[in-house]
Amino acid sequence: MKKLNFQYIHGNSALHRLDARTKLALLIIWYISVILFVDMRVLLIFFIGGLSLFLLSGIPFGRIRFMMGFLISFVVMMGILTNLFTPSYAGKYVEIQHQLVTIAGRTLTKETAFYSLTLMVKYLAVFPMAILFILTTNPSRLSSSLNGMGITYKITYALNIALRYLPDVQRDFNHISYAQQARGLNLQGGGPRFGRKVRALLAILFPLLLSSLDRVETVTNAMELRGFGSRRKRTWYRATTFTSLDYLFLGLSALLLAGSIMLKMWVLPGFWYPF
């Protein structure tokens, strides 16, 4: 297995310096706001706004090209499926629909086609914020932040353990595979690609599970010997604190939320289409 890496990039931009809790709040508010609208104009603003935040963070675009491509193929497929299964879905929002094409007795309307475009932009609008969160939040600070939000430390510490043992389990995976090959098991050659992969996986899966279960014992013992879980609370060596920057961003996020809700209620309640 190739060494997998998290997307997180070290850095010192404003976004990097924000507390994970602030970013999480911002992310959730962004999700809610995007979900509220079925209006292409607003969604485009969110999308572009998100992208510009991304540019501000100083992370090169090349870093997300692959994910962007993946996402685009995903939304395109969703668009196609929507048109295929529910060619006149826009009837939910508009009374009169205009026919675009009719195939095999099913009529695709212009409105539905535009609706699926809107949907695609909607998914795209979420993306910049999500990727920003992942690119700028050090995973190893997540557990203390989540604990600070009131989630019990036993759950958030499980996340820490996951991060800690990720490289080890990955190395176990490789070593088991090497050790088996060194003793004559041929995991590399022969057969079609897919079958080969499944076969290799099966040979490694059971040993990997066993070694992981053993690891559970050792780690549990080591943690108990150092007093884990004995109290209702714990402190964190790497705890983060709120700065004025966090309060600023929280304020802005609250404004964003309020603005979105008012806009939705009084100005742009429904589906917008240009014809």
Partner 1 sequence: MKPIISIQDVTYTYPRVKHPTIRQINLDIYPGEKILIAGPSGSGKSTLARCINGLIPHSYKGELQGAVMIDGKPITEMPIVEISEKVGTILQDPEGQFIGLSVAEDVAFGLENREVPQREMEVQVKAALERVGMVQYMDGSPQELSGGEKQKVALAGILTIDPEVLLLDEPLANLDPVSGLQMMELMERIHKQAGKTVIIVEHRIEDVIAYGVDRIVLMVDGAIVADLPAAQMLSSGLLKEAGIRHPLYLEALHQVGCSYTADDLPLRVDEVDVEETAPIVSRWLSNGENEASIEAASGHDRNTDETLPIISFHGVHFGYEPHVQVLSEVSFAIQPGERVALLGHNGAGKSTLSQLMLGMYQPTKGSIAINGKNASGMNIAERGRQIGYVMQNPNHMLSQDTVLAEILLGPKHSGFSQEEIGRSVDHALAICDLAGYRNWPISALSHGQKKRLTIASVLAMNPKLLLLDEPTAGQDYRHYREMMAFIDGLSKQGIALVMVTHDMHLAMEYTDRALVLSKGRIVADTSTMALLANEDRLTGSQLRPSSLYELGKRLALKQPDRLIRRYIAEERKGSAQYEEA
Partner 2 sequence: MSIQKQSPWSLSTKNVVVIGIGAVLYGLLSYATNFIPVGGNSLRPAIVILTLIGALFGPLVGFFAGLIGNIIVDLFSGQIWINWDVGNGVIGLFAGFAYLLKGLDLSNGRIKGIHYLWIILLNFAGNVVGLIGATLYDAATGTPIETTLAGWSLPSIIVNTAWSATLGLLLIAAIAKRNSSMAGLEIGK
Interacting residue ranges for partner 2, rule: CB under 8 A: 1, 4-8, 27, 31, 35, 38, 64, 67, 70-71, 74, 77-78, 81-82, 85-86, 89, 119, 122, 127, 130-131, 133-135, 139, 152, 154-155, 157-162, 164-166, 169-170, 173, 194, 197-198, 201-202, 205-206, 208-210, 212, 215-216, 219-220, 223-224, 228-229
Q: What's the closest the beta carbon of residue 257 comes to partner 1, in angstroms?
A: 32
Using CB under 8 A, which residues numbered 171 to 200 contact partner 1? 171-172, 174-176, 178-189
4 forms part of the interface with partner 1 (CB under 8 A): no
The helix (H) or strand (E) run that includes residue 101 is: strand 99-103
Nearest to 133 by CA among 254, 248, 10, 27: 27
Q: Are 246 and 18 in contact (CB under 8 A)?
A: yes
2 forms part of the interface with partner 1 (CB under 8 A): no
Distances (CA, A) of 155 to 26, 46, 101, 214: 23, 33, 53, 21
d(CA 64, CA 62): 5
How many other CB atoms are there within 10 angstroms of residue 59's CB atom?
A: 20
Tokens, residue 40: 């292409």
Binding site for partner 1 (CB under 8 A): 140, 160-161, 163-164, 167-168, 171-172, 174-176, 178-189, 207, 210-211, 214-215, 217-231, 233-239
